[in-house]
């Protein structure tokens, strides 16, 4: 009998059939697809599979920090309403990196302004009702020995069981700021853009990206680290591992 089935059976015996069905419907496991030669990838799968009770990690990534190889950045909670200028920069950078602006009135600049114009009312409403969250941490995100100012912004609540609906989900936005801690560090445009989350393995930062639909059996977690500058001081990212997620519903 698999660990997952033993776990579900134990819950059934303790809590009854109805609750058992509910827990089993969200229980899942991860399988390593790419990166089997890397210790981090093998350790990560083992770490996550200790917790079949966790919902899909589509909204927020986490690890079991009882395993001392793994940790999370020391995020400090900030009040979103006190940092709307910063959030404006994050929204703009997430839509289109600042590095692509050639002049103040070009297409990229206008697209960034429109992104904030379209989002501002909702962003403020989510901040006012306590739905959004903003965090700040300082750590070396690109492995160059220097500490970076990193923000983590979640615009609204997110349902991990509707991971295919990225348009309405409050997926994390990782944002590396400049030395003043507000404007984007232009070296990290490729990292600031897509929805990402971050964890640490033996003190080294890795980015994660959830792709696909867990209900359709197509959900993967990509694990990335920042690469050396690719051009003009621009940092990109390289894939280290790919983990496939199997939900309890697909067992």
pLDDT of residue 193: 65
**Residue 235 reports pLDDT greater than 90:** no
Give residue 158's Cα distance to chain centre.
Answer: 12
Q: What percent of the chain clears pLDDT 70, i.e. is strictly above it?
A: 75
Residue 97's contacts (CB-CB under 8 Å, 6 or more residues apart) are: 184, 189, 190, 192, 193
Q: What is the pLDDT of residues 166-180, one digit of tens each?
A: 444 578 888 888 877
- Region 70-74 average pLDDT: 97
pTM (2 d.p.): 0.80
Give the C-alpha distances (Å, rounded to integers) separating 203 from 37, 142, 156, 200. 20, 12, 29, 5
pLDDT of residue 86: 92
**Residue 77 reports pLDDT greater than 80:** yes
Round the average pLDDT of the chain to a whole number and report it: 79
Res. 96 pLDDT band, cuts 50 70 90: confident
């Amino acid at each position: 009998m698999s660990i997952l089935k033993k776990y579900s059976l134990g819950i059934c015996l303790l809590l009854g059939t109805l609750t058992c069905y509910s827990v089993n419907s969200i229980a899942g496991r991860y399988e390593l697809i790419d990166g089997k030669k890397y210790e981090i990838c093998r350790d990560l799968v083992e770490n996550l599979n200790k917790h079949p009770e966790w919902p899909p990690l589509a909204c927020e990534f986490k690890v079991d920090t009882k395993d001392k190889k793994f940790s999370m950045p020391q995020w400090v909670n900030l009040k979103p309403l006190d940092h709307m200028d910063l959030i404006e920069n994050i929204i703009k950078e997430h839509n289109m990196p600042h590095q692509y602006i050639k002049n103040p009135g070009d297409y990229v600049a206008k697209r960034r302004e429109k992104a904030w114009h379209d989002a501002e009312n909702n962003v403020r409403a989510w901040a006012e009702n306590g739905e959004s969250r903003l965090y700040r941490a300082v750590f070396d995100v690109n492995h160059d020995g220097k500490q970076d100012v990193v923000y983590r912004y979640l615009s609204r609540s997110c349902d991990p069981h509707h991971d295919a609906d990225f348009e309405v989900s409050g997926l994390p936005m990782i944002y590396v700021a400049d030395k003043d801690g507000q404007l984007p560090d232009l070296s990290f445009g490729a990292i600031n853009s897509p929805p990402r989350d971050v964890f640490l393995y033996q003190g080294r930062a890795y980015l994660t990206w959830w792709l696909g639909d867990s209900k359709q059996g197509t959900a993967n977690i990509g694990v990335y680290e920042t690469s050396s500058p690719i051009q003009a001081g621009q940092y990109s990212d390289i894939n280290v591992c790919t983990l496939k997620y199997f939900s309890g519903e697909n067992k």
